[in-house]
Structure 1
Amino acid sequence: MTTLAEVAEAARVSTAAASLVLSGKSKGRVSETTAQRVRATAEELGYVRDALAGGMRNRRTRTVGVLGERVLSTPYAVAMIDAILTASRELGWSVLLTDSGGQPEQTRRAVRELRSRRVDVIVHAAMYHQRVHVAPELVNVAVLNGFADRDDVVGVVPDEEAAARTAVTHLLELGHRRIGHLTQDDPAIAIGLRRAAFEETLRNAGISPDPALTVAGGQHPEQADSGACRLLDRADRPTAIFCYNDGMAAGVYRVASALGIAIPEQLSVVGFDDLRLISTNLAPPLTTMRLPHYEMADWLVRRLITGDLPESAGVHRFPCELMVRNSTAPAPPGA
């Protein structure tokens, strides 16, 4: 970490002058030209002023810093933040939350803020399963719901492939052989992993995946409905559909209702996420894969705080639970 003395030396001023400038007390005591040079030098060197009292410098703050990337304003944040707050509270720690909105400059500011507050550990939380940039100056940091662009940082993610296999196996065990997949046309990691596992599971069951039964919809309701319609408004429609997420499953429900297709008697539907605002409010309630956001956050925070992270960094995958409700049933006779 860059020190005040290093900033002063690089800016060609005394340590006292640098301190006055960076503490906002230089007016009338240091020329504005010099002050600008000191601030520019501090920015260039990545200097972070300690926001706490000098006497705290060598003490732990017992604070978990959470650096979110468009996380705190999403429904998926609830379980993660709940786990972080609960685990920290039980271990006698406090939590400082910040969210960069996924913007690089805001992320840099958030990093500086967390460092200035001298948080002891940092949880870098991603909105979805993705690769994230972890600033090189951060230590005692781990990635929640993603993985880092650094080899020395632990990341935790859902086991997307195992979850998709579980979902499709559930449908196969109910006797379904013609299974559709409503997905998205997007390079997101989870989309590719779930689709690959869907196709692999069918092949392992002796079923050749039918390209016509894998359809890309979208997040918006009209896009989900359009994709669902392409699967259902056909003479050889599938008897079951595995959806990329619960929102797209809701689109299948809407289209099935419009076409007079009964769920689950004529069509079984499996979602992904277990977003309760959707999954438990559909009629019938949706069978879906529950993302382990709470478990991942709880595991990560407790090990960051106790210093018990795995010696080998990298990605650690957490299992998803199949939540069996009333949207799946045995395949229709003769299907």
Structure 2
Amino acid sequence: MSARDVRTREEAMMPNLAEVAQRAKVSTATASLVLSGKDVGRVSRATAKRVLRAATEIGYVRNALAAGMRSGRTSCLGVVAEGVLSTPYAVDMIKAVLTAAAEHGWSVILNDTGDEGQRAHEAVQEMLSRQVDHVIQAAMYHRRVDVPSDLPDVVVLNGFADRPGVPCVVPDETRAAFEATEHLIALGHTRIAHITDTSGVVAVGLRLRGYRDALEAHAIAYDERRVIRGGDAPEQADASARRLLALRPRPTAVFCFNDGMAAGVYRQAYRAGLRIPEDLSVVGFDDLTLISTNLDPGLTTMRLPHYEMADWLTRAVINDGPGGLHSGITRMPCRMVHRGSTAPPLTA
């Protein structure tokens, strides 16, 4: 006997909808409404309870996939996560998708492909073969995502598509950098440096633009010498911080591309006998809590809206489908988390 024959035999032995209806003394249509969750306003609460009790007593299990194939909908989201599960703070995206989907009674199929583009394409095709209603491609960081051109029901989380017409949601990096720099300006700082990355990721240019725009908006001259470029490995962050502290006149504040670079500023400031925030105010970016909450004083930083983006996109897709979303990029604001690393300059 083949595996398929065994499965068919087992399915035939399982309680069916007609048996539930017979036990509950209702019609098959009524039992179907209750067990599919469509009974509100159509079936009395007493009758619904009787149907659910009957289903439990005889061990009825609804075949959601078969029901989905009959109706053309499975109430299932496919999530292709490109390296997301390897990034501590980006895991919030997956948490938000699962929570929002569960609240709507939807299930989620998740596949983390790392950063391999071809595997991502294969994963999307596999999701569709499993009859998912929509696919979310989630990027580990803000970047361009290759979206298969023949897939109509795909949206992009934390990235932008390589072709027009695909709904996407990303952090508003430029606005966040503007607000981080403006926070320092509001405290009275005018000699504000920016430590940035050399990796060429999209966020580098966007955050630099926000920094420059804030200076210009407050009539503070942009000084290229105060833009320190380097890597975010600890030794590279330390090297950037040393170049920052060697500037004359020394900046009184610094906006860092990420929290790891800010940690380098803390280390080098301590070695130079400088106090944070009295002698040097520091703002980070990302709010990677393993760093930001363990520095002394705690790091004031911009928090990426990973949870908020995923929550909004999941609910929008479930309620409206990709066709009901803006076919382009939606930018979501970041939030500044105030801790103890900024203060007015001593010369103010």
* TM-score higher than 0.5: yes
* Aligned mates of 1:318, 1:56 — CA distance in 2: 33
In the alignment, structure 1 residue 239 sits paired with structure 2 residue 249: no
State the match for 2:24 in structure 1: none
**Structure 2 match to 1:282:** 295
Gaps of 5+ in 2: 1-63
For 2:176, which of 163, 174, 178 is the aligned residue?
Answer: 163
The answer to whether the Cα contact below 8 Å between 2:78 and 2:110 also exists between their aligned partners in 1 is yes
Once residues 234 and 105 of structure 1 are traced to their aligned partners in structure 2, the CA distance between those partners, rounded to angstroms, is 46
- Structure 1 segment 110-149 matched on structure 2, within 5 A: 110-149=123-162
Matches within 5 A, 1:74-223: 74-223=87-236
Question: Separation in 1 of the partners of 2:127 and 2:77?
Answer: 9
Letter in 2 for 1:321: R
Query: CA–CA distance in 2 between the matches of 1:54 and 1:325?
Result: 53
CA–CA separation in structure 1 for the residues paired with 2:217 and 2:67 = 64
Cα distance, 1:85 vs. partner? 0.7
Tell whether the 8 Å contact from 2:196 to 2:229 is kept in structure 1 after alignment: yes
Change (3 A) 1:54 1:323: closer
Matches of 1:87 and 1:54, distance apart in 2:
24
- Distance apart, 1:323 and its partner CA: 1.0
Aligned to 1:57, what secondary structure does the other structure show? Answer: helix
Does the Cα contact within 8 Å between 1:217 and 1:225 map onto a contact in 2? no
Structure-2 residue corresponding to 1:299: 312
* Cα offset, 1:187, TM superposition: 2.1
Read off the aligned partner of 1:226 and give its amino acid letter.
A
The list of structure 1 runs, each at least 4 consecutive aligned residues, that deviate by more than 4 angstroms after superposition, is 52-56, 308-311
Identity of aligned residues (%): 53
Contact persistence 2:68–2:75 (CA under 8 A) = no
Cα distance in structure 2, aligned partners of 1:200 and 1:55: 54
Counterpart residue identity of residue 57, structure 1: M
Task: Write out per-residue CA displacement over residues 138-160 of structure 1, whole angstroms, 9 at most, x where no aligned residue.
Answer: 23211000111222210001111
Q: Partner of 1:215: helix, strand, or coil?
A: strand
Larger radius of gyration: 2
* C-alpha displacement of 1:180: 0.5
SS of 1:201's partner is helix
Following the alignment from structure 1 to structure 2, what is the Cα–Cα distance between the partners of residues 269 and 53? 53
For 1:333 and 1:167, the matched residues in 2 are separated by 21
Letter in structure 1 aligned against 2:245: L
Name the count of aligned residue pairs.
283
| Two-structure CA RMSD over aligned residues (Å) | 1.7
The answer to whether the 8 Å contact 2:167/2:325 transfers is no
Unmatched 5+ residue regions in structure 1?
1-51
Equivalent residue letter for 1:169: E
**Does structure 1 residue 260 correspond to structure 2 residue 256?**
no
Check whether the contact 2:80–2:135 (CA below 8 A) recurs between aligned residues.
yes
Distance 2:181 2:113 in 1: 37
TM-aligned CA deviation for residue 94 of structure 1:
1.0
Q: Is 2:245–2:251's contact at 8 Å kept on the other side of the alignment? A: yes
Q: For each residue in 1:56-90, what CA deviation from the matched residue of structure 2 results, as whole angstroms up to 9, or x when unmatched?
A: 53332211111111112111322111110100010
SS of structure 1 residue aligned to 2:85: coil
Partner SS, residue 336 of structure 2: strand
Q: What's the TM-score, normalizing by structure 1?
A: 0.81
Letter of the aligned partner of 1:153 in structure 2?
A: V
Which of these residues, 57, 62, 66, is aligned with residue 69 of structure 2? 57
Deviation at residue 54 of structure 1 after TM alignment? 7.0
Higher fraction of helix: 2
Distance 1:100-1:302 versus aligned 2 partners, 3 A rule: same
Q: Secondary structure at the match of 1:72?
A: helix
Output the amino acid matched with 2:342: T
Q: Quote how far apart the aligned CAs of 1:93 are.
A: 0.8
TM-score where L is the length of structure 2: 0.78
Q: Does 1:66 align with 2:60?
A: no
- 2:345 pairs with 323, 331, 334, which one? 331
Give the conservation status (yes or no) of the 8 Å contact 2:65–2:74: no
